Structure 1
Amino acid sequence: MSDSSAFRVETTSRLAQWRIDSLASCFYRKSDPFKMGNWNWHLSVEKHRLLCVKLFPEISNITKDNPPIASFIVRVVTSVGDRRTFTHPEITDKQLKNNDDFVWAVEVPLAGKFIIDIEFLDLKIATPDGRQPCSIWADRLTEKRSNATALASLGQMLTDGIHTDIRINASDGSIGAHRAVIGARSPVFHSMFSHNLKEREMSSIDIPDISIEACRAFLNYIYGNIEHEDFLKHRLALVRAADKYDISDLKEACHESLVEDIDAKNVLERLQNAYLYELPKLKTSCMRYLVRFGKIYDIQEDFNSLLQCADRDLIADIFHEVLDAWKGF
């Protein structure tokens, strides 16, 4: 490892990792700053009888005026011999201002190479009016795409079923909509209504691969009336519908959002969807999470199941990523 890379912290989504080859020649090391949320952060290690790990934000006007309120999990992973992981209990909503606000003394002596792994669960800032702190990762993208005043009437038309002229039949229910609205948002719908197809004649569209709840969220997005919680809950169904009906802004909104909260429980499903629906950023992030950040070892049983049923090209991509990682380690 070069001198410059010895202090570099790598990040992806909400995960940060600092790889340390050895502390034999020094007793203290502080990382280069790394970006997570609104702040630049540092990690430091101090070695005496035990190893002390610290996480703290870089001193700045942002930190002074709006210090982060962080929820995170810290792990130390040994990478020599038998792989071992030591995990600190989850930290929830702890305000961090300086390098003494979070200190973890690892009570197992470490030698050789190891990795400090920080999984940020949430980052919040205090609100000016003294209410509950607000998460900086609350969705902003979909809110920006919706102008509340201009789209309020459209949302009401859908919610109240005002003058609907088309039925959308999902797998477990149906909902009324408006040809003009959905045709303007989707070239696929527009084509259905512009030609003598059954959808035009029957005044209905069958979407059997989507639930009524996800279908309602899909239409709410089209009408500019989607709630953030519904968007998060149905992102995978929404990205499928967006791909099928060529609604590029919805597909991109789902793509960006799915990259933000990759974890061990969802990474394999998201990797498959990234491959299926051509989501390159999500695919790269999932690959890095699994391979570069070593999370593939934490879900070996699920990963083995994936290998038995995944597309051959996807499996080949995974193994190429593994080989590239081994070359650089």
Structure 2
Amino acid sequence: MSDSAYRVETTSRLAQWRIDNLASCTYRKSDPFKIGNWNWHLSVEKNQVLFIKLYPNLTRDNPPIASFIIQVLCSVGDRKALIHPGITNKQLKNNDDFIWVIETPLTGKFIINVEFLDLKISSPNDSEPCSIWAEGYSQRQSSSTALSCLSRMLSESIHTNITINASNGSIGAHRAVLATRSPVFWSMFSRDLKEKDLSTINITDMSIESCQAFLNYIYGNIHWDEFLTHRLALFQIADKYDISDLKEACHENLLEDIDTKNVLERLQNSHLYQLPRLKSSYMRYLVEFGKIFDIRDHFNAFLQCANRDLVAEIFDEILATWKGL
């Protein structure tokens, strides 16, 4: 049997195992696949019924507290899916913690989809468990004295020496801070450009609220809810001013919570704002992982009003993917 029979394809929160055939009285365990902080396994056992197990390969303490949706999609017929009611905040330690027993006969090829809604770990001080995705972002926020001082410099306008003009307001900032965070700003302030003489930067395609969030990130004082609200605008400005860490943080976060409810809107925005990495990821989620079939009606409506170039790209991706099956 080829190695591909055991391979699980993944995005940041979605795992998909394609099984071409599973004879009676058969057991199969997938290769490990990485989701969050853990390597995971899926296993299937077919006897009179089908048993599906999902479990982490624990090599350390603090097992995951998982929330996920799992479904089995049979390729025979009308691609009807068997959907588990869902798991919420269940701690998974071994291969007996989650078992799905399916009595419906499945023949031919079928696909197992696992979509992780959240993964949490227990807090050492016995407080509420923390989401690893929220935690990953918060850990990047330094609580050092230096960052506190930078935050005060911005919030209290201490010795600001440059003004940023957004679409609906202005805010003061500091040349040195901007220049050390962005090679574009560094070049702008080092050469004989109008921004150097006028001590202003015009970013008129950005609202003052998004601009404030952008500066808060640069000065080390952005809050999680603020980041979530403005992450698309932050992705754009990070790309424009070559701030790689902010760009990567936005990119990863915009992928981490992708689901069938928001993927079409995200796909449209990534095309509109010319964000090819995001667009490619959303396209893969829809087409390669077959999520188009889960939102067939919404997708048909989307095609009626979406950008024509984007529609053409989607169909090119569908044809290329199906040709390879």
Report the TM range for the smaller structure's normalisation. 0.7 to 0.9
- Which of 104, 112, 117 is the matching residue for 2:113? 117
* 1:117–1:327 Cα change, 3 Å: same
CA RMSD across the alignment: 3.0
Contact 2:183 2:241 in 1 (8 A): yes
The SS at the match of 2:133 is: coil
Q: Structure 2: any 5+ residue segments left out of the alignment?
A: none
Partner of 1:297: 293
Query: Which 10-residue stretch deviates more, 294-303 or 15-24?
Result: 294-303
Q: Give identity over the alignment, percent.
A: 64
- Which of 95, 118, 135 is the matching residue for 2:91? 95
Give aligned pairs, total.
Answer: 323
Partner of 2:15: 16
Distance 1:315 1:158 in 2: 44
Question: What amino acid does structure 2 have at the position aligned with 1:235?
Answer: R
* 1:38–1:186 Cα change, 3 Å: closer
The SS at the match of 1:175 is: strand
Shift of 1:296: 1.6
The SS at the match of 2:287 is: helix
- Which of 263, 268, 279 is the matching residue for 1:267? 263
Query: Which 10-residue stretch deviates more, 264-273 or 227-236?
Result: 264-273
Say whether residues 1:309 and 2:286 are aligned partners. no
Question: What amino acid does structure 1 have at the position aligned with 2:257?
Answer: D
Say whether residues 1:126 and 2:122 are aligned partners. yes
Say whether residues 1:224 and 2:220 are aligned partners. yes
Contact 1:56 1:96 in 2 (8 A): yes
Say whether residues 1:213 and 2:209 are aligned partners. yes
Contact 2:64 2:91 in 1 (8 A): yes
Partner of 2:51: 52
Q: Structure 1: any 5+ residue segments left out of the alignment?
A: none
- Which of 246, 251, 254 is the matching residue for 2:250? 254
Distance 1:32 1:4 in 2: 9
Distance 1:34 1:180 in 2: 44
Q: How does 1:56-67 map to 2 (within 5 A)?
A: 56-58=55-57, 60-62=58-60, 65-67=61-63
Partner of 2:194: 197
Question: What amino acid does structure 1 have at the position aligned with 2:76?
Answer: V
Question: What amino acid does structure 1 have at the position aligned with 2:59?
Answer: N
* 1:196–1:70 Cα change, 3 Å: closer
Q: Deviations over 1:240-293 (max 9, x none)?
A: 122233433322332233233322233234334545666554343222211111
Distance 2:277 2:135 in 1: 18
- Which of 226, 229, 236 is the matching residue for 2:232? 236
